[in-house]
Amino acid sequence: MVTKTAVITGASSGIGAAIARRFGAEGWNLALAARRQKELELVAAQSGSHVLPIVADMTRRGDVERLLAEAVRTFGNIDVWINNAGRGVGKKVLDLTEPEFDEIVAVNLKSVFYGMQVAVPYFQLRGEGHLINISSFLGRVPLVTFRSVYNAAKAAVNVLTANLRMDLRLSHPRIRVSLVLPGTVKTDFGRNALGGTPPIPPGGRSPMVPQTPEEVAGMVWELVENPKAELYTNPASPEMVRRYYQDVGAFEDEMFRGLSGRPSS
């Protein structure tokens, strides 16, 4: 039996680390990338005996190309590439500075763009492969407005993923392209967000039950076993998306009442 290989970016914590541990437990070879060396090496040590930790910045195309080259040189092949690197923000649209905007777009969107342009040509040469982009439910529904440009970047990830999938559908049917949209997940994402995370207003409530990174990782594993175009990890998400697009105004009014604790005008 040939051991399969996965590349996982943003693997030093949170969802990426949980995915690494899950795939490692299944016996896969892993090439793990992140900017923080100490944290990355700790996750690598927890993810099995066939793990290559690579300190890299996914906002730099050269680093992404190096990640591909080192993974292939070490393991001989890549079966799954997971674009997971990302960072949050804790500022509303009108409070953002231009450097903050550029940073969040680079980490959440450009890193995925580079990953797609590096991984997919390799899959085309190989004739098969599975690209998975980790997005966010907030890229579909503006439930948390202080995530602002993070939400916008994730919305762009959603569109790029769908367009790539359609481009490959006829020419390379054995290359799978999937989008994963987590909801609220119990990680240090909020604490590490650029600008921090504002407190929830009095009377505010979250309409979602938070998931653990391990729950999301398990669903990503199932997605590899049974590929599909999109995966909402939180059971509440599909219905919320449907209601949002069915009547945006009514949904926003409902969310205003729920999150602020005040009646709508």
Residue 255 lies in a domain: no
Residue 36 lies in a domain: yes
Q: Is 114 helix (H, G, I), strand (E, B) or coil?
A: helix
State the pLDDT at residue 177.
98
State the pLDDT at residue 259.
56
State the pLDDT at residue 26.
96
Residue 242 lies in a domain: no
Residue 37 lies in a domain: yes
Give the whole-angstrom CA distance, residue 177 versus residue 42.
Answer: 29
As given in the structure block, the two tokens for residue 129 are: 């492969």
pLDDT tens digits, one per residue of 82-125: 999 998 899 999 999 999 999 999 999 999 999 999 999 999 99
CA distances (Å), 54 to each of 11, 34, 40, 47, 183, in order? 10, 7, 8, 14, 28
Q: What is the DSSP letter of 15?
A: H
Residue 258 lies in a domain: no
Residue 100 lies in a domain: yes
State the pLDDT at residue 200.
62
State the pLDDT at residue 255.
76
Q: Which domain holds residue 147?
A: 5-235
State the total domains in the chain.
1
Is 150 noted as a catalytic residue in this protein?
yes
Which position among 150, 232, 244, 245 bears the catalytic label?
A: 150
Residue 250 lies in a domain: no
The domain spanning residue 223 has which CATH number? 3.40.50.720
Residue 249 lies in a domain: no
Going by C-alpha positions, the residue among 208, 86, 90 that lies closest to residue 148 is: 90
Q: Which residues of the chain fall short of a pLDDT of 50?
A: 202-203, 263-265
CA distances (Å), 21 to each of 16, 28, 181, 210, in order? 9, 10, 20, 20
